[in-house]
Amino acid sequence: MNIFNPEHDLCMANGDANFVPPASALEFGKDCAGLTRWIDQSSDNEVVPWGWDAVLKRRLQKEGVPGAMLPSDADIAEIRRLSHRRNAVNASVYVNDFQANADARLLKHLRSISYVREITDINALTPVVEEFGDAVLKAPLSGSGKGLRWARCNELSASDLGWNRNVIAKQGSLMVEKRLEIVQDFAMLFHVGRSEVSFEGYSLFFNDNGIYKGNVLASDAHIFSRISCYVPNELIINVKAALENYLGCEFLGKYAGYVGADMFIYEEDGEYRLAPVGELNVRMTMGLLARRLYDRHLYGNPQQIKLLHPGVSELPASDMKPADQTPDLDGQYAMCVEYSPVPGKLYSEKEEFLETLTEITPASRYAVVVRRADVSH
């Protein structure tokens, strides 16, 4: 059973099995049901969700799914603990320490650990924002662009303070980060198994004010070359190695599944630096989906592309080759989330999309599609 539950982050943040997610999140999941099939095909006796949380477990219990196919409450509590942004901060500290031991000369290319603070007292907020000048305020349990606010020195409104108090009251703390000039978002993708952590590849994505919009469909080599335009190759390799070690120490035996480590390149004082582990997504990610699409499902020739759908053994036209054998495909296309508030609009426009990963009906307001990549990304 494959389940796409994009409301996962909201459910994880709330923590209550009886929480009712917003209608928009549920509609996204309904319109794009089965999206996880592109990542992993489930068998008849297993459940493969986007991410496990108490709300999903309760829903499946009501639907009669056997308990043997569901995680324990302790398992879900551990996933929630690992999803806390404090874990991303700890991972960043680990990366910096790893690099210091490997080659301290490259530390200047990493974001300073002092640029991220966790506060538990609202009175500590203003001094930190004043120190940073511009800051990003984040709920400790949040993701996908939710639970964020931007703050400027001397411009914390009553609404801002009220939101921050509420976050601290509900989640125990608030994360405050120095706002930086981001020039490239990307991620490293991992799988935590029973006995080892494996690297699944890179993800190059783009967003709008923190809200995810899409991923470039490209080879790992292409993405690596894009990142290495800004920082040394050795640094990227060391960050990957450090995160494999960190996940091995902190996740093995506590969680089994995918982890996406979101990162970004930023410019400061005329220099490019890498901010490792802005988020640790303890679930499947759109970046992982894009990685699987390029590696397993994207075929083409210079004139057109085609996706080989999950469970379909018939190959596209004979002149089409897998993406990794077709240089013209590398980095030229993007996987995007499309939304229209007007039912029927996506349906009327579906012929404009090069390929679709989800069925688009007259009632659809959400879809995941393939388009030509914007050169600005």
**158 is written with which tokens?**
């009553």
Please report the pLDDT score of residue 144 as a whole number: 66
Task: Give the C-alpha distances (Å, rounded to integers) separating 246 from 123, 255, 277.
Answer: 33, 13, 11
Query: Is 289 in contact with 217 (CB distance < 8 Å)?
Result: no
Query: Is 36 in contact with 284 (CB distance < 8 Å)?
Result: yes
Domain segments of the chain as ranges: 2-81, 106-112+181-283, 116-178, 290-372
Please report the pLDDT score of residue 220 as a whole number: 97
**Partners of 136 in the β-ladder:** 150, 177
- Cβ within 8 Å of residue 332, ≥6 positions away: 217, 372, 373
User: Which DSSP letter does residue 188 get?
Assistant: E
Alpha-carbon distance 39 to 292, whole Å? Answer: 6
Q: How many CB atoms lie within 10 A of CB 350?
A: 16
**17 is written with which tokens?**
């099995």
**160 is written with which tokens?**
């801002």
Say if domain 116-178 classifies as CATH 3.30.1490.20. Answer: yes
Please report the pLDDT score of residue 377 as a whole number: 47
Query: Is 212 in contact with 186 (CB distance < 8 Å)?
Result: no
Task: Using DSSP, state whether 249 is helix, strand or coil.
Answer: helix
Scored b (16 or more CB within 10 A) or e, 73-111 reads eeebebbbebbbbbbbbebbebbbebbeebeeebeebbb
**106 is written with which tokens?**
């490259």
Question: How far apart, in Å, do the first and last CA atoms of the chain sit?
Answer: 35
Alpha-carbon distance 14 to 233, whole Å? Answer: 40
Alpha-carbon distance 83 to 140, whole Å? Answer: 8
Please report the pLDDT score of residue 211 as a whole number: 80
For 45-73, give the DSSP string: T--EESS--HHHHHHHHHTT--GGGS--H
What is the length of the chain?
377
List the pLDDT tens digit at each of the 377 positions of the chain: 899 999 999 999 999 999 999 999 999 999 999 899 999 877 778 899 999 999 999 999 999 999 999 999 999 999 999 999 999 999 999 999 999 999 999 999 999 999 999 999 999 999 999 999 999 999 999 876 678 888 887 778 888 889 999 999 999 999 999 999 999 999 999 999 999 999 999 999 998 877 889 999 999 999 999 999 999 999 999 999 999 999 999 999 999 999 999 999 999 999 999 999 999 999 999 999 999 999 999 999 878 899 999 888 777 787 899 998 988 899 999 999 999 999 999 999 999 999 999 999 999 999 999 999 875 44
Write down the CATH number for the domain with range 106-112+181-283. 3.30.470
Alpha-carbon distance 220 to 244, whole Å? Answer: 17
Q: Tell me the whole-structure pTM to 2 decimals.
A: 0.94
| Phi and psi, residue 338, nearest 5° | -105, 140
Where is 161: in which H helix or E strand? helix 158-171
